[in-house]
């Protein structure tokens, strides 16, 4: 009798240890079968901003180099995820690399505010418990996304701004830099150009239609079934009065919920705030039977396009399905899961099912 019980227990333990699928992922798999979709083991999607690049105006080398960078970020993300990294670590790590890359409008390379300074915004949210962290208007934190992560993990707040956010980042041991660390000639020239234009036309913001945003974002579904989304930006060129865009606003530029999806947005932040776009994607996913792609498409090509609001978003649903719509001419974007990898910049690239 004792031997038989021992045997049954032993087999039980063996079965449990062989089946190392986390409960969240297991639930999703069962739901995926009912929803007639596939549960991906893991997935990651990144963007480097929506805007008005064009195959004619932007040199081919520039386009290829940007895409090569996205490609290597996707491969790095995959390697981390295959090795069981947590979504929150992958999102923050990938975004710190993009913040160090002067070609993006985030961290070093951020655009300039009217006062000639770089004022940075970032946010991160984890879908397991809806915990989130954000910082706005920081000008001395090398990696704003890490400050947002510290707010999420080591404070009882969600959103900090300006000098207070910087003191907090310092207390948490994050690297602080002089504001001129963020300087790049290209973005400075752009400020001067926009200001010259503003003096002539009275139109104060980044002039369209040739702007390139370059904000960065990342959404990850890890092997445990956790979804995390993050966004980091310098905002809009020539922004005034400590203007804050959507990127650090939870529900506008960033949102994540394990029960639905994760979202990171890019574009003219004022509209994304008014329509609470990132949360809207999650909410519609929760309350309708529409796919992540249908929901994201309708918001970007319908709701926002109708009011001339430029931008795009990246989203992953809880099964790892992706949406990457944008209503400008280009959005640097990339997606990876266990079986496919996509990197694209213009509309004609990538697969129609994603953008
Ligand atoms: N959404 C950002 C903002 O309005 C800008 C961008 O995506 O490039 O601050």
Mean pLDDT by 10 residues, the chain (355 residues): 48 43 75 82 97 83 94 98 98 98 97 96 98 98 98 98 98 98 95 88 62 88 98 95 97 98 96 98 97 98 95 97 96 97 88 53
Task: Give pLDDT, residue 4.
Answer: 53
Ligand 1 center from residue 39 Cα (angstroms) = 31
Atom of ligand 1 nearest to the CA of 214: 8
CB of 236 sitting under 6 A from ligand 1: yes
Q: What sign does the CA torsion over 213, 122, 256, 252 have? A: negative
d(Cα 185, Cα 199) in Å, to the nearest integer? 21
d(Cα 24, Cα 39) in Å, to the nearest integer? 11
* 215 is a catalytic site residue: yes
Residue of minimum CA distance from atom 9 in ligand 1: 235
153: its two tokens? 């993990």
Q: Which residues of 30-52 are buried (b: 16+ CB within 10 A; e: fewer)?
A: eebeebebebbbbbbbbbbbbbb
CB of 264 sitting under 6 A from ligand 1: no
- Please count the other Cβ atoms lying within 10 Å of the Cβ belonging to residue 332: 29
Residue of 112, 242, 266 best suited for mutating to test ligand 1, as the one with most atoms within 8 Å of CB:
266
28: its two tokens? 């999703």
Task: Give pLDDT, residue 199.
Answer: 85
Ligand 1 center from residue 211 Cα (angstroms) = 11
CB of 213 sitting under 6 A from ligand 1: yes
Q: Which residues contact 261 (CB under 8 A, 6 or more apart)?
A: 227, 281, 282, 285, 292, 315, 316, 317, 318
What's the pTM value of the predicted model, to 2 decimals?
0.91
CA end-to-end distance (rounded Å), the chain: 62
Considering just the CA atoms, what is the radius of gyration of the chain in Å? 21
Ligand 1 center from residue 236 Cα (angstroms) = 6
CB 201 within 8 A of CB 75: no
CB 204 within 8 A of CB 241: no
Task: Give pLDDT, residue 14.
Answer: 41
d(Cα 309, Cα 326) in Å, to the nearest integer? 11
CB of 128 sitting under 6 A from ligand 1: no
CB of 104 sitting under 6 A from ligand 1: no
Atom of ligand 1 nearest to the CA of 243: 9
H, E, C per residue of the chain? CHHHHHHHHHHHHHHHHHCCCCHHHHHHHHHHHHCCCCCCCCEEEEEEEEECCCCCCCCHHHHHHHHHHHHHHHHHHHHHHHCCCCHHHHHHHHHHHHHHCCCCCCCCCCCCCCCCCCCEEEEEEECCCCCEEEEEEECCECCHHHHHHHHHHHCCCCEEEHHHHHHHHHHCCCCECCHHHHCCHHHHHHHHHHHHHHHHHCCCCCCCCCCECCCEEEEEECCCCCEEEEEEECCCCCCCCCCCCCCCCECCCEEECCCCEEEEEEECHHHHHHCCHHHHHHHHHHHCCCCHHHHHHHHHHHHHHHCCCCEEEEEEECCCCEECCECCCEEEEEEEECCCEEEEEECCCCCCCCC
CB of 246 sitting under 6 A from ligand 1: yes
Ligand 1 center from residue 121 Cα (angstroms) = 9
> Active-site residue among 215, 231, 233, 260?
215
143: its two tokens? 């990696």
Task: Give pLDDT, residue 96.
Answer: 98
- Domain locations in the chain as residue ranges: 43-346
Atom of ligand 1 nearest to the CA of 51: 8
Q: Is domain 43-346 annotated with CATH 3.60.20.30?
A: yes
Ligand 1 center from residue 224 Cα (angstroms) = 31
Task: Give pLDDT, residue 37.
Answer: 82
CB of 328 sitting under 6 A from ligand 1: no
240: its two tokens? 């005034």
Ligand 1 center from residue 292 Cα (angstroms) = 22
Task: Give pLDDT, residue 352.
Answer: 47
Please write the tens of the pLDDT for every residue from 180-235: 999 999 999 999 998 988 888 776 666 545 566 699 999 999 999 999 999 999 99
| DSSP-assigned beta bridge partners for residue 229 | 125, 219
348: its two tokens? 């004609």
Please write the tens of the pLDDT for every residue from 137-168: 999 999 999 999 999 999 999 999 999 999 99
């Amino acid at each position: 009798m004792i031997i038989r019980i021992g045997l049954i227990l032993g087999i039980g333990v063996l079965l449990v240890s062989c089946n190392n699928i986390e409960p969240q992922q297991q639930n999703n798999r069962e739901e995926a079968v009912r929803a007639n979709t596939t549960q991906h083991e893991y997935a990651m999607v990144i963007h480097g901003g929506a805007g008005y690049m064009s195959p004619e105006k932007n040199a081919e080398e520039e386009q290829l180099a940007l895409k090569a960078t996205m490609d290597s970020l996707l491969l790095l993300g995959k390697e981390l995820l295959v090795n069981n990294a947590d979504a929150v670590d992958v999102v923050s790590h990938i975004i710190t690399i993009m913040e160090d890359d002067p070609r993006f409008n985030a961290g070093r390379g951020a655009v300039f505010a009217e006062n000639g300074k770089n004022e940075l915004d970032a946010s991160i949210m984890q879908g397991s418990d809806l915990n989130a962290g954000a910082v706005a208007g920081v000008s001395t934190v090398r990696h704003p996304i890490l400050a947002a992560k510290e707010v999420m993990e080591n404070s009882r707040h969600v959103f900090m701004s300006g000098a207070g956010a910087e003191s907090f980042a310092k207390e948490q041991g994050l690297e602080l830099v002089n504001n001129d660390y963020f300087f790049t000639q290209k973005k400075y020239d752009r400020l001067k150009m926009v200001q010259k234009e503003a003096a002539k036309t009275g139109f104060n913001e980044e002039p369209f239609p040739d702007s390139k945003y370059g904000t960065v974002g990342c959404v990850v579904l890890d092997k445990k079934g956790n979804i995390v989304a993050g966004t980091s930006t310098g905002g809009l060129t020539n922004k005034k009065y400590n203007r804050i865009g959507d990127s650090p606003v939870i529900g506008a530029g960033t949102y994540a919920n394990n029960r639905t999806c994760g979202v990171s947005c890019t574009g003219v932040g004022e509209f994304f705030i008014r329509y609470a776009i990132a949360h809207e994607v999650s909410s519609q996913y929760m309350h309708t039977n529409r796919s992540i792609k249908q929901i994201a498409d309708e918001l970007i090509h319908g709701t926002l396009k109708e009011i001339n609001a430029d931008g795009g978003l990246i989203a992953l649903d809880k099964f790892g399905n992706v949406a990457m719509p944008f209503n400008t001419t280009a959005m640097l974007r990339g997606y990876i899961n266990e079986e496919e990898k996509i990197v694209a910049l213009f509309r004609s690239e990538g697969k129609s099912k994603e953008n």
